[in-house]
Amino acid sequence: MKLQQEFTDDQQVKITAEFEPELLEQYMHKAARKISQRTRIPGFRPGKAPYAMVLNHVGEASIKEEALELLLDKVYPEMLDEAQIKPYGPGNLDEIKSENPPIFQFTIPLEPEVELGAVEDLREAYVLPKVSEQEVDDFILRARQNSSTIVPLDTPAAEGNLLYVTLEAVDLEPKEGENPDLIKAAPQQVLIPAEGEQRDSEWPFPGFGRALIGYNAGENAIITHEFPEDASDEELRGKKVRFTVNIQSVKAMQLPEMDEEFLSQLGDFKTVEELRSAVLKRLETETAAEYDDKYYLDLVDRVRKDAKIKYPPQMLEEEEEQVLHRFEHELSHRNLDLDVYLKVRKTDKEEFIKQEVTPTAINRLERSLIMQALSKKYDIKVTNEALEREISTIVNDLVVSGELQDVQKELGEKKFANAISMEAANRALETAIRKQLRTLASPESLPAEEPEAETREPALPEADESAQEDK
């Protein structure tokens, strides 16, 4: 066996392998015997027909195709051993350069390589944001709003009112060939926030609700807005849009009193002080989780920026498939499919993959490779206790979301168990790596190990639609 190797920049190796001249002929005869075992040749028992009869019956091309498969099954692993190659995955036969002697050219993906930079030099203060009294007030106000009674009004729209409207939107500066009509007669509920009130989201843009103050039912409001390039609605980014808003009705939200009945709806609370204390703990937990995620990803990305990462195209393709599959799964829960989504976005699958799937896949893949490199560098191990804890959390989350049976049915019992174990292992490893990075970047911020205390979570409906309309 003669080998020529050429390592490429995309973490692959091209190998040209030359074998003994008589090797293909040997495998042609082996292939003929195998073919005769499964193909009935008149006058001969299975596997006993002479080569010439098989050749005459099925033709040289069929024998050669079978011979090449048998030959490759035999010589490919031997070639990898001789070349001292540990592939990431299956290689490709690019070309049969010669049959006599057999000369094959392969492209083989290699295991990824990560060369970390000076991780020990990481420094970033870990300072948790404090939850303000105003945030507690806003949380409780939203809870009251979601338990409110809706009462029709015959007065102009004002702060705190709920408007039922139909919305039309026109692109004032459409590009050539684009349809300027963005939204046609879409029903919408608009809650007008108080001045300075921070809401988690306001569609189609912040301040939209307050722009409707003073309008009566039956009137039209014309609002022009220029969206920034980073607008939350991708469809509207960078566009100058004219909104026509028809006010169908103006209604008031009668908030419930902060009495025992309302407190009991939110949890086992006897006093407003108990509720505020529970809300504060919940917001502190959520704030800490959000901050911790951002802190960790910032550190990982800093490590990634200083690292040299190489991986084969096959690895990225697999990650892209996972990202796309997960996205399609999420769409299915919204009773959508990818084709409909792409039509709404006015794009095609190829462009969508290029613009959104591939960048997401690159981030996921490279962050994962950085995690693996860090776990190896610092010899990070996952304990059985941590693994069991994560498995319990994952299963409990599926139960709470009502997805447990659907996922079990989709994957099957064995694949489900394997998927849960793998996800739990990844989570436990990530938790350990987070601690290691924080130890390096901000060791003084690490808390003493304390058991988690159980707290009562106040109930908070997700949307204003839960408010009860007075009929």
Contact present, 252 and 191 (Cβ < 8 Å): no
Helix 133-146 with 272-306: angle, nearest 10 deg: 110
Task: Give the pLDDT score at 452.
Answer: 47
Could you tell me the two tokens for 385? 């206790």
Q: What is the mean pLDDT of residues 250-257?
A: 90
Give the pLDDT confidence of 72-107 residue by residue, as tens digits. Answer: 888 889 999 999 998 999 999 898 888 888 889 999
- H/E stretch holding 246 reads strand 240-254
Task: Report phi then psi at 94, rounded to 5.
Answer: -80, -40
Residues 421, 416: Cα–Cα separation, whole Å: 9
Task: Give the pLDDT score at 168.
Answer: 93
Query: Secondary structure of 394-456 in the HEC alphabet?
Result: HHHHHHHHCCHHHHHHHHCHHHHHHHHHHHHHHHHHHHHHHHHHHHHHCHHHCCCCCCCCCCC
Domains in the chain, ordered, with CATH? Answer: 2-109 (3.30.70.1050), 149-254 (3.10.50.30), 271-328+355-445 (1.10.3120)
Question: The pTM is what?
Answer: 0.71
**Whose CA is closest to 172, among 164, 163, 180, 183?**
180
Give the pLDDT confidence of 386-442 residue by residue, as tens digits. Answer: 999 999 999 998 888 888 888 888 888 888 888 899 889 989 999 999 999 999 999
User: In 120-224, which ranges are continuous DSSP H helix?
Assistant: 133-146
Cis peptide leading into 180, omega within 30 of 0? no
Task: Give the pLDDT score at 247.
Answer: 95
DSSP 313-380: HHHHHHHHHHHHHHHHHHHHHTT--HHHHHHHTT--HHHHIIIIIHHHHHHHHHHHHHHHHHHHHTT-
Instruction: Report which listed range, 49-53, 93-97, 358-362, 395-399, is most confident.
Output: 358-362
